Amino acid sequence: MTKTLLAAALLALMPGLTLAQASQAKTTAKTNTAAKASPAKTAAKPTAKKEVVAKAKPTSSRQQLHTAAVQVATGLIAAREALSPDELAMAKRVYVGQMACELGASVNVTSDPQAPGHFHLEGKGFRFHMAPVLTSTGAVRLEDPKAGAVWLQIANKSMLMDQKRGQRLADDCMSPEQVAVAETLKKAPAPNLLEPSPTK
């Protein structure tokens, strides 16, 4: 009798146990699936700390232009300094200082300390940077090829010409040395080579 009751009770509990086992199997399967998927997620996220690398600041266009300008200026100064010994000798003959010219004009000639043998010529409405150019006549000639300006110096006067426009910017300019020569020539004019010499 007791065995029969136990058997009946077991039969009654069987469907519940089967359902419980099935439910547990589903839960285990989900857990296993999640466990398999989680390592991939974990692997996707590196655990090492990211190194922060400071990026170099890009050079601005203004800095690049400034650098280029300095390089160009350095190259120009080097080119200015490349004078021949004869040109440097001519540069020593250039009169410097403020010079009065005709019609109330004036020209100030100063040596360029950064470029031996070169000169700055300044006046009303103009400023030139000039270098000596050799001549066949022996006259002192300074030129600013970029501006097209030419400074001619002879014994008793100097003149400044704008070759591009074909006009004189200043004429009859005289340093103290040239004034002295001009006065001497007034008292004892140089002989005219075109006139025949007086016969004895």
Give the per-residue pLDDT at 87.
96
Global pTM exceeds 0.75: no
pLDDT mean across residues, the chain: 77
How does pLDDT run across 6-35, given as a tens digit for each residue?
Answer: 445 445 545 554 444 555 555 555 555 544
- 174 three-state secondary structure: strand
pLDDT digits (tens, 9 = 90+) for 98-150: 999 999 999 999 999 999 999 999 999 999 999 999 999 989 999 999 999 99
Residue 107, burial from CB neighbour count under 10 angstroms (0-12, 13-18, 19+): buried
Indicate the CATH number for domain 77-187: 2.40.128.50
Q: What is the 3-state secondary structure (H, E, C) of 23-47?
A: HHHHHHHHHHHHHHHHHHHHHHCCC
- Total residues found in the chain within this entry: 200
pLDDT digits 0-9 by tens, 87-96: 999 999 999 9
- Radius of gyration of the chain, Cα coordinates, nearest whole angstrom: 50
Please say if the pLDDT value at position 76 is more than 70.
Answer: no
Nearest to 171 by CA among 127, 123, 105, 120: 105
CB 128 within 8 A of CB 121: yes
Decide if pLDDT at 176 tops 90.
yes
Distance CA 107, CA 101 (A): 7
